[in-house]
Amino acid sequence: MNSQTDLRSLDPSQIDQWIATRRDIHANPELRFEEHRTAELVAKRLTALGLEVETGIGRTGVVGLLRGRAEGQNKPRMIGLRADMDALPILEHNTFAHASRIPGKMHACGHDGHVAMLLGAAQVLAEQPDFHGSVAFIFQPAEEGGAGAQRMIEDGLFDRYPCDAVFAMHNWPGLPEGEFAAHLGPVMASSNEFHIVIHAKGAHAAMPDLGIDPVVIAAQLITALQTVVSRTCKPVEPAVLSVTQLNAGEAINVIPDRATLSGTVRTFSIETLDLIEQQLRSLSQGLCASFGATAEVHFERSYPPTINTPEHAQLAAQAIASIPGVKAVHANLPPTMGAEDFAYMLMKKPGAYLWIGNGGGAHRSEGHGLGPCTLHNPSYDFNDRVLPMGVQAWQAIVHKFLG
């Protein structure tokens, strides 16, 4: 069955409804685990479509289950499609009609568009469920630092909805409209942070011989940490270690008794992450000891790397490429050192995290801020022109996977 022939033409009134929904969500942003209004909107729409709906998964998550009616010889399978719902604590600079009505909160990552696309896909597929199997529409809370995906999994997401594969789609500024990306491996990096407290000996700044200066040690350690990636990791394994904060002292004429370094580590594999953590601890403790000080190292692992299953990325790419108007589906775009908690779902199930081109920013309505239309930027806005193609991409993937 050719997935292109399965795609039904979209009604302009439907597209207008999806745009209105997207802009309504944009105007009423909710931060992680506060997505009560958005979750209620999603649940009402899915219920009206006749789906089996469950709320409160992972606190504010929503899942709608659509069962296909086509017959097949094999055991019916289940596909999971995920959209994130939360906004960011950013003061929006845009002043167009659908700009945020809540100061300090903004949909600056396009989650409003992701919700609208997945609701549109649910609508189109529910009107013509001619596939063998079922679709779990997963609306996830708290992607922005709250590990909402992990929370939903811990709450029994895949126990109640045993998906055979899961997919997510994120808008990507700079990627032209009509283009997609389906990486055949790593897409996003792991996100981790470290805090190194150097315990030394305070003294009067005019009498440094009576103390052990943690500021000097911190300066040495910052330089030494730059060798962890360059001289410990394999050159073919991308990794980032950045010291982003140095805090020490309160008075100009006092050598403090401690200093704290903080920063982030990003990798595309757990093995490289293990190596960096081990070397960071060893180097910090050894260097500080050589000065007569001690190091207290805290290493906190946040999101793991987001790694696509090659066969599912290829399946998605083939399905999307069949959509009229699609210009390209890239398999080899460079991955990004940003992080994404869909990684937790891909650690439990095979699947793929896809990019849909959001364009360069020319789509923004009059009244947008002067900043670029990049993610996590106060002048960002999701490109409504890509909504129909996003809906059709979901539709094509479902038909390709379930048949």
The domain that holds 41 is classified in CATH as 3.40.630.10
Strand pairing category for 133-140 and 77-84 = parallel
Domain residues for the domain of 241 are 192-301
Is the same domain home to 368 and 233? no
User: What one-character-per-residue DSSP string does 299-331 give?
Assistant: EEE-SPPEE--HHHHHHHHHHHHTSTT--EEES
User: What's the rounded Cα separation, in Å, for the pair 114 and 92?
Assistant: 19
The stretch 209-228 carries a mean pLDDT of: 98
The stretch 88-100 carries a mean pLDDT of: 97
Is the same domain home to 114 and 249? no
For the sheet with 61-67, list strands across it.
Answer: 52-57, 61-67, 133-140, 77-84, 165-172, 351-357, 179-181, 328-330
Is the same domain home to 146 and 240? no
**What CATH number does residue 231 fall under?**
3.30.70.360
Is the same domain home to 261 and 397? no
Lowest mean pLDDT among 3-12, 40-49, 258-267: 3-12
Q: Which two tokens stand for residue 235?
A: 């050159």
User: What's the rounded Cα separation, in Å, for the pair 40 and 21?
Assistant: 13
Alpha helices in 163-269 (DSSP H): 214-232
When pLDDT is cut at 50, 70 and 90, the band that residue 199 belongs to is very high
Asked whether the beta carbons of 167 and 82 are under 8 A apart, the reply is yes
Is the same domain home to 275 and 322? no
Is the same domain home to 85 and 209? no
- Which neighbouring-strand residues pair with 199? 258, 294
The stretch 297-322 carries a mean pLDDT of: 97
When pLDDT is cut at 50, 70 and 90, the band that residue 403 belongs to is confident
Is the same domain home to 10 and 158? yes
Mean per-residue pLDDT of the chain: 96
Domain boundary among 301, 331, 348: 301
For residue 380, which of 400, 358, 396 has the smallest C-alpha distance?
A: 358
Is the same domain home to 252 and 385? no
When pLDDT is cut at 50, 70 and 90, the band that residue 1 belongs to is very low
For residue 131, which of 85, 194, 66 has the smallest C-alpha distance?
A: 66
Is the same domain home to 58 and 103? yes
Asked whether the beta carbons of 388 and 13 are under 8 A apart, the reply is no
User: What's the rounded Cα separation, in Å, for the pair 364 and 194?
Assistant: 38
Domain boundary among 267, 301, 335: 301
When pLDDT is cut at 50, 70 and 90, the band that residue 8 belongs to is low
* Residue 176 confidence (pLDDT) above 80: yes
Domain boundary among 301, 329, 348: 301
Is the same domain home to 133 and 166? yes
Domain count within the chain: 2
DSSP state of 156: T
Is the same domain home to 225 and 318? no
Residue 155: exposed, middle, or buried by beta-carbon count in 10 A (0-12, 13-18, 19+)?
middle
User: What one-character-per-residue DSSP string does 97-146 give?
Assistant: TTS-SSTT-B--SSHHHHHHHHHHHHHHHHH---SSEEEEEEEE--TTTS
Is the same domain home to 66 and 183? yes
